[in-house]
């Protein structure tokens, strides 16, 4: 369970935002743990990109995918929301590795969906199930998720990329959409995410080369307002953030001075507070976990 310092920051978060938060953390050398709502299901938002990254490199290890293969960027592959590929001219030919890097470090949704469709959603979910991650289910691409939460249908040609982009910018959300249903959307739990990160770190599911590639990509993360934000300067963190509407997540491995630990912080149902305030409150939870493991 959460220790007093972590519990206090969780209570502060709830008081400030009205939201629910789940935290799981495990020190990988001492086996000390922190847990609060750790087995509760939360929306992954863009943290779905960690299971996708694992499946991508699992298929690299199997010889199915070549990370150096170049992919033609076309207008049809553009996905609204975060990222830069949607803004670039058609004809660009990034490698699979380039797409993986963009998917993680700036949460590029176009790169994500190219890779999701390449590895196959069923394969992602089958691998998560084989790993015993029973709360993790990733049925939706970014396009499907973002269209759903804005009341659009990817199968309707009248529901265009531009329409989805406009609704996202205006935050015109349809709360009855499948993207807001825990039974139909991309979901996981803090404990599942921590377990997946531990498997990555331990080298139990990937070759040494793929393990190093995955950790290298996660360490290059440029969106750092939650887990790393309040930690001592220079602390290395391999992580991935995620957010939409009243959902906010960050999951990763912190390479602290006492040794590495996994941590997953996932929140939902916030009714108050702006984005910066929510992130600052969750960053305080991250710092409390760090302090707990530091003694």
* Reported confidence tier of residue 295, pLDDT bands at 50, 70, 90: confident
pLDDT at 275 over 90: no
pLDDT mean over 215-239 = 97
pLDDT mean over 225-251 = 96
Q: Which of 159, 177, 190, 180 is nearest to 26 (CA)?
A: 190
* Reported confidence tier of residue 293, pLDDT bands at 50, 70, 90: very high
- Sequence-separated (6 or more) residues with CB below 8 Å from residue 241: 46, 47, 107, 221, 223, 225, 226, 249, 250
Confidence (pLDDT) at 3: 67
Give all domains of the chain, ordered by start, each with its CATH number.
4-294 (3.40.710.10)
Convert the pLDDT of each residue in 8-28 to its tens digit: 999 999 998 999 999 999 999
Confidence (pLDDT) at 5: 86
pLDDT at 65 over 80: yes
Q: What's the CA gap between 22 and 10, in Å, rounded?
A: 9
Confidence (pLDDT) at 290: 97
pLDDT mean over 89-102 = 97
**Entry field: residues in the chain:** 295
> For the chain, what is the mean pLDDT?
96
Confidence (pLDDT) at 2: 66
Confidence (pLDDT) at 4: 76
**From residue 252, how far is each of 8, 12, 65, 96, 116 by CA, in Å?**
22, 22, 25, 22, 21
* Reported confidence tier of residue 271, pLDDT bands at 50, 70, 90: confident
pLDDT mean over 206-221 = 98
| pTM for this prediction | 0.96
Q: Among 14-18, 139-143, 246-250, name the one with the lowest average pLDDT.
A: 14-18
pLDDT at 276 over 80: no
């Amino acid at each position: 369970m959460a220790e007093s310092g972590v519990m206090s920051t969780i209570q502060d978060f709830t008081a400030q935002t009205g939201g629910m938060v789940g935290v799981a953390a495990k020190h990988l050398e001492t086996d000390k743990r922190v847990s609060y709502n750790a087995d509760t299901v939360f929306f992954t938002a863009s943290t779905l990109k960690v299971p996708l990254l694992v499946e991508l490199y699992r298929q690299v290890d199997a010889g199915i995918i070549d990370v150096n293969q170049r992919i033609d960027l076309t207008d049809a592959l553009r996905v609204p929301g975060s990222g830069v590929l949607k803004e670039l001219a058609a004809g660009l030919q990034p490698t699979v590795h380039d797409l993986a890097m963009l998917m993680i470090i700036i949460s590029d949704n176009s790169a994500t969906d190219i890779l999701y469709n390449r590895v196959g959603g069923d394969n992602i979910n089958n691998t998560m199930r084989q790993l015993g991650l029973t709360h993790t289910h990733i049925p939706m691409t970014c396009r499907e998720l973002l269209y759903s939460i804005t009341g659009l249908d990817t199968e309707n040609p009248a529901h265009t990329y531009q329409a989805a982009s406009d609704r996202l910018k205006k935050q015109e959300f349809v709360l009855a959409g499948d993207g807001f249903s825990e039974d139909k959307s991309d979901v996981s739990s803090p404990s599942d995410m921590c377990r997946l990160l531990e498997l990555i770190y331990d080298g139990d599911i990937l070759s040494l080369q793929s393990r190093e590639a995955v950790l290298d990509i996660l360490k290059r993360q440029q969106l750092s307002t939650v887990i790393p934000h309040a930690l001592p300067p220079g602390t290395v963190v391999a992580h991935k953030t995620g957010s939409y509407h009243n959902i906010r997540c960050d999951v990763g491995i912190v390479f602290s001075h006492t040794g590495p630990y996994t941590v997953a912080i996932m929140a939902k149902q916030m009714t108050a507070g702006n984005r910066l305030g929510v992130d600052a409150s969750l960053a305080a939870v991250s710092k409390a976990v760090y302090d707990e493991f530091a003694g």
